[in-house]
Amino acid sequence: MFPSQFDYYRPSSLQEAIGLLGANPDAKVLAGGHSLLPAMKLRLTMPGALVDLSHIPELRGINVNGGVTIGAMTTYDEIEVSAELQQRVPMLAEAAAVVGDPHVRARGTIGGSLAHSDPAADLTAVFLALGGEVTAVGSNGERIIGADDLFVDLLTTSLQPDEVITQIKIPLTGRTAMAYEKQEHPASGYAIVGVAAVLTLRDGDHCESARLAVTGCTSKATRLTAAEDALSGQSLNEETITRAAQAASEGLEVNGDLYASEEYRRHLVTVITGRTLRRATGAITR
Amino acid sequence: MRGTIGASLPRPDAFGKVTGETRYPADLVRPGMLHLKVVFAGRPHARILGIDTAAALRQPGVVAVLTAADVPYNAHGLIEDDQPVLCAVGEKVRFAGDKVALVAAESREAAAAGASLVVVTYEDLPAATDPRAALAADAPLVHDRHGSNQLLHLPIRKGTIERGFAEADIVLDGTFSTSWQEHAFLQPEAGIAEVDEQGRLVVETAGQWLHEDRRQIAKILGLPEERVIVRYAAIGGAFGGREDLSIQHLLALAAWTLRRPVALIWSREESIVAHHKRHPMEIRCRWGATYDGRITAVEAEVIADGGAYASTSAEVVKVATLFASGCYEVPHIAADGYAVYTNNVPSGAFRGFGAPQAQFAAEVMVTRLAHTIGMDPVELRRRNIYREGSLEPTQQPLPPGVSALPVLERCVEEAQVHLGYGLAPQSLPATTSLVAESVEADQTATGSLTPRSARGAGNGRHSPSHLRRGVGIACGIKNVGYSFGYPEQSTATVELHGGGDIERAVVRVGAADVGQGSHLALRQIAAETLGVAPGTVEMVCDDSAEAPDAGSASASRMTLMGGRAVRDAAIEALAKWRDTDDLHVEATVQYRPPATTPLAAGTGASQPNYCYGYAAQAVEVEVSLLTGQVQVLRIISVHDVGRAINHQQVEGQIEGCLAQALGYALLEHFQVRDGRVLTPYLSTYLLPTALDMPTEIVPVILELSDPNGPYGARGVAEMPLVPLTPAIAAAIHDATGVWLTQQPMTPERILTALNVGTALEKGSSNEITTTIDTKSTVTAHASK
C-alpha cells in the first residue's frame, strides 16, 4: 500500500531539525526508516511530515575515548565493523551484526532503534544491559536520559515529540564479561527472545554486579532483575548460571503472539538467559 | 530425435525467467485499461442487507461498481455451482474472502479508493468454524438449501473390521490433526481481459486448465464457449491453487459488461484470504497387527474442513479416505471420510490432494506398530506393502505397475549409505564427542530429559548434548490422474509440414506449464516420437482457441495424459505423413486411459484409479531439546516415475516439492480464528527458505515402466509431499522418543511434546506405551 500524503524535510543541522519538529507538530523523525516506512505504508501511522536526519553530519560517528560515544545516526553496519567497538564493547558489535538482514543493517540506526522502542529490537536490550545513556536535544535544550528511564512502554519512550536523540553513551567500567543471544523469528529476524548480559567481575570469576535485559517477549526491553540478583556477589559457575537462568522470568510480564505463546517465550527466557551467561562467562580467563 | 527421452535439455523458458523478460499476467497490463478492485466480505457469515455504491461512484476515476445484479448466472464451481461470483443483497456471505462488489476505475488508486467507499450493511450470523461442531444438528447452516453442513460422507468397507481386530495381537489408537496450507505461489493472481474485434471475450491470466476456466466463464456469462478465449501468460506456480476460479471470472465479467479492457492484480494478502487452501483434517484411527508383522485391520475417521464452498472437497476426501490405510494391503478396513461445510476459507486442490494428510496418520501408525511388536519399521512395511495384484480398500486389484516395494528397498539402501540407517549402534563411531562438545546443560529448562534412543544417526559428529539426531523412513502413494469414474481424457493435435523431411512440427495441446516444465517434456515426447530435433517442434499450448483440451495440469497427470495424447497424435501424424505426398498432414487424438469407476454407496467398492505413483523417503533431523527447533539435515527421496522424460526437470520437481513438503511439516502454520485468517502475510505465514533446507538432498529416480504412460512415464509432481511429514515425525521420534501428531510440527509443539514425554517418563511407565514408544530405535536399527 501507499503511505498517506506527507511533507518531507531534510535539514542539514540539528538546530534546523529541532525547528522543523517544533513547527510541524504531526511530524515524525526519519532515521533509517526501516520501522517507520513500513508502518506508514500499512497506514498504522500517518505523519503529516517527515524530518530526515540523514544529512546532519554531527549525528554520525563512533568515538571511543574514556567512554564510548556513538552518534545517533550511526548505522548497524558501522557499529558491526567498528574495530574499537568490537574490542571495547564486543556485545554491541555482535548484536548489531544480527539485526535483520544486510539491507536493514545498512540503513537502520542505533538512535532510531532506541527511539522507536520496538518490543523485539536487539539494541534496546543491549543498551539497557550496558547501562548506557542518551543525549536528547529539543526546543527546551539538551538533557541526558539514562537507560533505565528511556523505555516507557510498547513503542513508547520518555522522549518529547520535538526531542531528537543525538548520541548514545556507553560507560566502560572495570573488567566485564558480556554477551547477547537471541532466538529469532524465522521470517523477520526479530527476537522471539533476546537476552543481553553485562557482568562486572572481580577476582577471577567473582561477579560483583550484573545487568541483564530481555527483548522480544515483553512490551519493551526489560531488566531481568531476579537473574541479576542471583548472579551478584556470586562466583560464576554452572550452578549460579543455572539458578540465574531459572530465575530470569520471575515477575516478568511475557507476551505471546501467533508464532510463539507466552508459555513458550517464558521458557525461552530461561534457555536464552542460560545461553547468554554461558557465552559471556566462557570468555573469562580465570 | 532418438535419445531425446531422458535428456536434461535446458528449459527454453529459463533465460527469460532469470532475466525478468518473461511476461507474467501482471506484466500484461497496458495503459488505458480499467483497474478492478474487489470488495471482500471481511466477515465469516452474514446476510447482506444492502449495498450502497453511490459514494464509490462519486469517487473520481471510478467507472462502475458491479454487483450480483450484473452477473447473468451467479454461481460457479469445479464440481458444484455453489459459489456466487458476487454475493447478492438478501443472500449470505459465507467466508471472509467472499466477494461482494467489483469496482472498476481508471487507475489502481481510484479503484482502491472506490472500493473503500462501497457501503455494505450486514446482519452477522452465527458462524460454523469447527468442522466437527458443524456436523451437529443445531449447527448454523453454511448453505441453507443443503440442509446440513455435511458435504460428503464416504464409507469404505473391506473385509470385516471386527474380525480384523480379533486377529490382531496388538491394537493402537491414534489421533492426528493437520492445518490449512497456503499455496504461496510466487505470483499472486493477476490478469487482463477484453473483447476482441470479433466480439470474443479474451481472458489472459494464469491457471491450470484452459478449457475448464473457459467452461465456467461461459456459463457465468451465458455465452457459447467458443465466444470465450482463455489464454495463459507465464504461470508463476500453481500447486492446485489455480484450479478454482479466483479472478478469471471477475475479469471476464467486467470486460464483457463494460466493453473495455480491464486488469486485476491481487496483493499477497488478497490472494491468501480469498483463494482456497489445503484441507485441514482430523484423523482418528485404530490399527491392528499380529506379532509376526501382519497388519490385520485399519479403522479410520477422516473429518475435513471443506470451508464455505464445495470446490473439490468431495474428491479430496475420497482420496484421503482411500489412503487411510496408506500403501498397505490390509484385509479388513472400515474408513469413513467426511467433508464438511464451514464458514472458513474454502479448501480445495493442493499438491497431494488429501494424500499427505491421510498418510501422515497411516505412516506414523505403521512405525508405531512396528516399534510395539519389536520389528524393524522397514520390515513391517515390507511385509504389508502393495504388490502387483494387491487388493485396494475398494476391493479391486491395483492397476498394473505396482512399484511400492522396489521403491522402499532402494530407499533403505540409500539410507544405509547416506545416513547409516540400520547399522547396529555398536558398529558406529565412538559417541564421546556428544558430551565433550556440550555447551549447554540439558537440565536448564526441561529437566532431566534423556531420550530413549540417544543414538541418533549423527554419532561421532560434533553435536552439543542438547541436540539430538534421528532418522525416519516413510512411504507414500498418490494417484496419477483423475479418479472415481471421472471421464478422464487428454487431446492433442500434431501437424507436420515439409517436403521430403519433416521441416516443422506443430504440437497443439492445451496443457498449462505451471512452472514444472510440461511444455518441454511434451516437446521431448513429440521430438522422440517424430524422430526430429526438439527445436523442430513448435508448441501451441496456451490458448483455448488454438489448442485442444488436454485436461488440467494437476493430479501429477500431464506427463502421462498430455504426453500420451501427444505421442499417439504424433504416431498417427507420422503414419499419414508416410502415406501421402502432401506438404502438410495433421492428426488429432484423444487419449482415454483405462476406465475408473465411482465408489459404490455404502462400501466404496470400485476401481478408483488407473495409475499410482510410489515414493519412499528417509530423513535425518537434528532436534534441540531446549527449544524444540528442528533442522532437517538430509533427505533421500525415491520415486518411481516410470520414465524420466527430462531428468533434470524430474529432479527439479522432487527438490522443489520437498521444499513445500518441509514447509508443510515444520513451518507453515496457517491460523484462522472465528473464520478470520490471522496469517495473511508471508511475515506471519512462514515459508521455508534455502537456509531451512537440508544441505543434502538425494533424489533417486527409478524407471519402472507404467503400462500406459508415454515411454512408460507416470507422474511425480505430488509424490514427494506425501511421505515427508511422517518421515520427519519418525526422525523426531528417533531422536527424542516422542511422537508429534499435529501438523505443522512447530518448535513449540515439539517442546510441549518433550515436556509431556518427560512428565510421563517420570510417572508410571505403563501409561506411556501409546504416547512414547518404549522400544524405539533399538529394535529399529538392530534388526536390519
Residues B69-99 have pLDDT tens digits of 999 999 999 999 999 999 999 999 999 999 9
Contact at CB, B627 and A274, closer than 8 angstroms:
no
- Report which residue type is found at B695: T
Instruction: Annotate A238-249 with b (16+ C-beta within 10 A) or e (fewer).
Output: eebbbebbbbbb
Return mean pLDDT, chain B. 92
Beta bridge partners of A212: A197
The pLDDT score that the predictor gives to residue B295 is: 98
Query: Residues in chain A with pLDDT < 50?
Result: 286
Could you identify the residue written with the cell 510395539? B372
pLDDT above 80: residue B456: no
Give the tens place of pLDDT for each residue, B745-755.
999 999 999 99
CB within 8 Å of chain A, chain B residues 683-712: 683-684, 686, 689, 692
Contact A186 B692 (CB under 8 A): yes
Average pLDDT over every residue of B733-739: 97
Tell me the mean pLDDT in the region B179-208. 98
* Cβ–Cβ contact B437 with A under 8 A: no
| Mean pLDDT taken over chain A | 95
**Which residues of chain A are within 8 Å of residue B447 when distances are taken between CB atoms?**
none
Is B627 part of the contact surface with chain A (CB cutoff 8 Å)?
yes
Question: What is the Cα–Cα distance from A215 to B515, expressed in whole angstroms?
Answer: 42
Cβ proximity of A169 and A136 under 8 Å: no
Distance from CA of B110 to the nearest CA of A (A): 13
pLDDT category at B180 given cuts 50, 70, 90 is very high
Query: What's the confidence (pLDDT) of residue B423?
Result: 72
User: Is it true that A58-171 and A176-285 share their CATH fold?
Assistant: no
Tell me the pLDDT tens digit for each residue of B624-654: 999 999 999 999 999 999 999 999 999 999 9
How far B444 CA lies from chain A's nearest CA (Å)? 6
Residues of A whose CB is below 8 A from B444 = 242, 245-246, 270-271, 274
**Predicted local confidence at residue B610, as pLDDT:** 98
How far off is chain B from A159, nearest CA to CA, in Å?
Answer: 30
Query: Which residue stretches of B275-335 are H helix?
Result: 313-322
Residues in A closer than 8 angstroms to B751, CB to CB, are 264, 267
Q: What is the SS3 assignment for B327-347? A: CECCCEEEEEEEEEECCCCCE
Asked if A267 and B751 come within 8 Å (Cβ–Cβ), the reply is: yes
- From residue A104, how far is each of A39, A96, B683 by CA, in Å? 15, 10, 16
Residues of chain A neighbouring B667 (CB-CB closer than 8 A): 186
Tell which residue, B394, B362, B389, has the closest CA to residue B295. B362
Domain range summary for chain A, segments of one domain joined by +: 7-46, 58-171, 176-285
Q: Which residues of B touch A248 (CB under 8 A)?
A: none
- Assess whether pLDDT exceeds 70 at residue B776: no
Most B CBs within 10 A among A239, A271, A275, A277, hence the mutation to make, goes to A271
Asked whether the beta carbons of B338 and B302 are under 8 A apart, the reply is yes
| Range in B188-202, B273-287, B413-427, B591-605 with the lowest mean pLDDT | B413-427
> What is the Cα Rg of chain A in Å?
19
Per-residue model confidence (pLDDT) at position B463: 56
Q: What is d(CA B470, CA B457) in angstroms, rounded to the nearest whole number?
A: 6
- ipTM, two decimals, is 0.93
Q: What average pLDDT score do residues B312-336 get?
A: 98
The answer to whether B173 contacts chain A (CB < 8 Å) is no
- The whole-angstrom separation of Cα A245 and Cα A254 is 15
Q: CA B687 to CA B661: how far, in whole Å?
A: 10
Question: Looking at CA atoms only, how far is residue B287 from chain A in angstroms?
Answer: 33
Using one digit for the tens of pLDDT, what is the confidence trace for B221-252?
999 999 999 999 999 999 999 999 999 999 99
Render pLDDT for B37-50 as a digit per residue (tens, 0 to 9): 999 999 999 999 99
Question: Per the CB < 8 Å rule, is A186 touching B686?
Answer: yes
State residue B444's pLDDT score. 37
Most A CBs within 10 Å, among B270, B438, B632, B748, to test the A interface: B748
Q: Given this model, what pLDDT does residue B500 score?
A: 83
Sign of CA dihedral A50, A56, A61, A66: negative
Angle of helix B721-736 relative to helix B747-762, nearest 10 degrees?
Answer: 40
Per CATH, the number for A176-285 is 3.30.390.50
| Cβ-Cβ contacts under 8 Å for B329 (sequence gap 6 or more) | B384, B385, B386, B387, B390, B391
> Mean pLDDT throughout B728-733?
98
Tell me if B626 and A271 make a contact (CB, 8 A cut-off): yes
C-alpha A234/C-alpha B1 separation (Å) is 80
User: B684 contacts in A (CB within 8 Å)?
Assistant: 187, 258-259
* CA gap B325, B365 in Å, rounded: 9
Chain B nearest C-alpha distance from A161 (Å): 30
Q: Sort out which chain B residues have CB atoms less than 8 A from A182's CB and list them.
A: none
- Cell numbers of B348, please? 480445495
Question: What cell does A120 get?
Answer: 523485539
**Residue B252, SS3?**
helix
- Global pTM reads 0.93
| Residue B425 confidence (pLDDT) | 52
CA distance B217 to A211: 66
For B16-36, how does the pLDDT look when each residue is reduced to its tens digit (9 = 90+)?
999 999 999 999 999 999 999
Using alpha carbons, list the distances in angstroms from residue B158 to A161, B290, B298, B482.
74, 18, 10, 23
Nearest CA of chain A to the CA of B731: how many Å?
22
* Chain B residues within an 8 Å CB radius of A260: 747-748
| Residue B747 contacts A where some CB pair is shorter than 8 Å | yes
Mutating which of A267, A272, A273, A278 best tests the B interface, going by the most B Cβ atoms within 10 A? A267
Q: Check residue B332 and give its pLDDT.
A: 98
Q: How many CB pairs under 8 A join A and B?
A: 52
Q: Do A268 and B109 make contact, defined as CB atoms within 8 angstroms?
A: no
Residue B683 has its nearest CB partner, among A187, A275, A279, at: A187
Domain A58-171 listed as CATH 3.30.465.10: yes
Give pLDDT, residue A32: 96
pLDDT confidence of residue B82: 97
